[in-house]
A and B are shown apart, each in its own frame.
Chain A
Amino acid sequence: MRNEINEAHEAVEELSYSSEAKRKIVVPGEVIVEGDDYLPGEGTRREGSKIVASKFGLAEEAGRVVKLIPIFGAFVPRRNNVIIGRVTDITYAGWLVDIDSAADAFLPIEESPRFINRNEMDQYLAVGDVISAKIWTVKGKGIDLTLKGKGLGKLEDGFIFRIIPSRVPRVIGREGSMVNLIKERTGCQITVGQNGWIWIKGPNTDSEIKARKAVEFVADKVHVNGLTEKMEAWFEGSE
């Protein structure tokens, strides 16, 4: 698994040449702007007349709203997130799933797309199997998942790996442009989970390795403008 510490070094290196935009690096507690006209957006908060950062990341002003793109961050489960998880246990009412967040998730037997005999649950999902699922509810008690939906279910073949969850939007791109580009160029099937886990299955090993490298390349670029074009160039260069 990739480790956060080294990624920190890489991230800061990346930042140095991408700072030509009107974004600045802020640390928690740093005042981004002062003035009553501004509104605190995601990752920021208001303290008196100041807008203060609550995360380490890139702050930008979009009109009156001050936004913060975090460089790191754990996955915070939200309803309707599609995630990739690993089955860790089977109980009488469903499966326990590790989704790499603070709490384990639970997949009730009723939420599988077809009828499952309670005595043969491990034939459908065994411990160690990987599923792509949707978060149905996030309650104080825990997280409930569902497999009812398009593209959800047990993942067969291929492999999964992790990127930093806060970089998932980069990998997906605007309306899926980035992930579609990678899919197109490598011929691989890719599912990006909001929790930072990514599943890749390709026609052969080489294309799978290439798809993974492409995804990691994107995830390493914390903020670079015109990344889709850069990605095109990357593919041209590696062919």
Chain B
Amino acid sequence: MSSMETSNLTRETLKRMFQEGKRFDGRGLTDLRDVTIEYGVSKKAEGSARVRMGKSDVVVGVKLQTGTPYPDSLEKGNLMVSGDLLPLASPRFESGPPGFEAIELPRLVDRAIRESGMIDFEKLCIKKGELVWTVIIDAYPINDDGNMIDIANIAAVAALRNTVMPEIDEAGKINYEKKSKNKLPLSKETLPLSFSFFKLGDTIVLDPTREEEEACDSRITFGISEWNGQLMLNSCQKKGELPLKQSEVEQMMEILPGKFEELNKKLKKFL
């Protein structure tokens, strides 16, 4: 089944509504939907989490493997983020080779987590230059009702915190059946989150539904985390043809700390 693309009239109505500061679900323009996190959804994965935000739903699993380090970081473990937009999640997704969005989503999650320093890669080294742990994060949207990137990011962070290292013997053979007592070496304070601002006309919205997201002209995603009591911008990516004004980016920067705190609070009871 295919679904209709956004029509001219719906776009105009949404533009008008956003200018009045209204949304169909009654939220304000920068209000976030409620979040719920469920752990241990996958038995085979070393760590997993399912995050629901409104009707959006993403499952993330973390798998640990051993491998050789990259030549430029002999003492560090590796991180791999992959994802797939399953046709199950939305009528817009087709099976087949990954499209632009299916490549963008894991890459943005990858950057937000990697650059925040949440994972202590040096502790993932088993034998310098020969054997290191590779952390594989797989993100699978189950239901797409907008804002996939931010939600996948939350799910990835939750799944990483849920991850337990498997047993490994001296020969380097992993016993996946037996869980060790060690958790994945993570920095406790760091909580990388991503925030995507969407622009339609002259207004900026956060956490859009699918309908709103499709009507929007451009998007900018920030990966932020807290470091030594200060907010740190880890990554940033813009999509869409419509340019952003300097004043708009400044406006986003004013909103960000408050929203980071709000989402942190919402996540606290689950983490």
Interface residues of A (CB under 8 A from B): 1-3, 5-6, 74, 85-86, 88, 98, 100, 102, 126, 128-130, 155-162, 197, 205-206, 208-209, 212
CB pair A157 B13 closer than 8 Å: yes
CB pair B3 A6 closer than 8 Å: no
Residues of chain A lying within 8 A (CB to CB) of residue B14:
159
Nearest to B214 among chain A residues (CB) is A1
CA distance A205 to B142 in the complex (A): 32
CB pair B13 A159 closer than 8 Å: yes
Given B4, B10, B24, B144, which contacts A3 in the complex, CB threshold below 8 Å?
B144
Interface of A is mostly: mixed
CB pair B9 A209 closer than 8 Å: no
Interface-located stretch among B15-23, B31-39, B109-117, B217-225? B15-23
CB pair A156 B9 closer than 8 Å: yes
22 residue pairs bridging A and B, Cβ less than 8 Å apart? A3-B90, A3-B143, A3-B145, A5-B88, A6-B145, A74-B1, A86-B4, A86-B5, A98-B4, A128-B8, A129-B7, A129-B9, A130-B8, A155-B9, A156-B9, A157-B12, A158-B13, A159-B10, A205-B16, A205-B20, A206-B22, A209-B22
181-205 of chain B: CB within 8 A of chain A = none
- Given A3-B143, A5-B143, A161-B211 contact (CB < 8 Å): yes
CA distance A205 to B55 in the complex (A): 24
Interface of B is mostly: loop
CA distance A88 to B145 in the complex (A): 24
Residues of chain B lying within 8 A (CB to CB) of residue A5:
57, 88, 142-143
CA distance A124 to B82 in the complex (A): 46
CA distance A209 to B89 in the complex (A): 26
Residues of chain A lying within 8 A (CB to CB) of residue B210:
1, 3
Q: Min CB distance, B28 to chain A, in Å?
A: 13
Given A157, A197, A206, which contacts B4 in the complex, CB threshold below 8 Å?
A197
CB pair A205 B7 closer than 8 Å: no
Q: Min CB distance, A112 to chain B, in Å?
A: 18
- Given A157-B13, A159-B13, A1-B24 contact (CB < 8 Å): no
Nearest to B16 among chain A residues (CB) is A205
Q: Min CB distance, A124 to chain B, in Å?
A: 14
Residues of chain A lying within 8 A (CB to CB) of residue B13:
157-159, 208
- Given A86-B7, A98-B4, A6-B143 contact (CB < 8 Å): yes
Residues of chain A lying within 8 A (CB to CB) of residue B3:
1, 100, 162
Asked whether B91 is an interface residue with its Cβ less than 8 Å from the other chain, the reply is: yes
Residues of chain B lying within 8 A (CB to CB) of residue A157:
9, 12-13
CA distance A160 to B211 in the complex (A): 10
- 8 shortest interchain CB distances as A-B pairs: A159-B13, A128-B8, A159-B10, A130-B7, A6-B55, A86-B7, A86-B4, A1-B210
Q: Min CB distance, B91 to chain A, in Å?
A: 7
70-117 of chain B: CB within 8 A of chain A = 88-91
CA distance A172 to B158 in the complex (A): 44
Q: Min CB distance, A74 to chain B, in Å?
A: 6
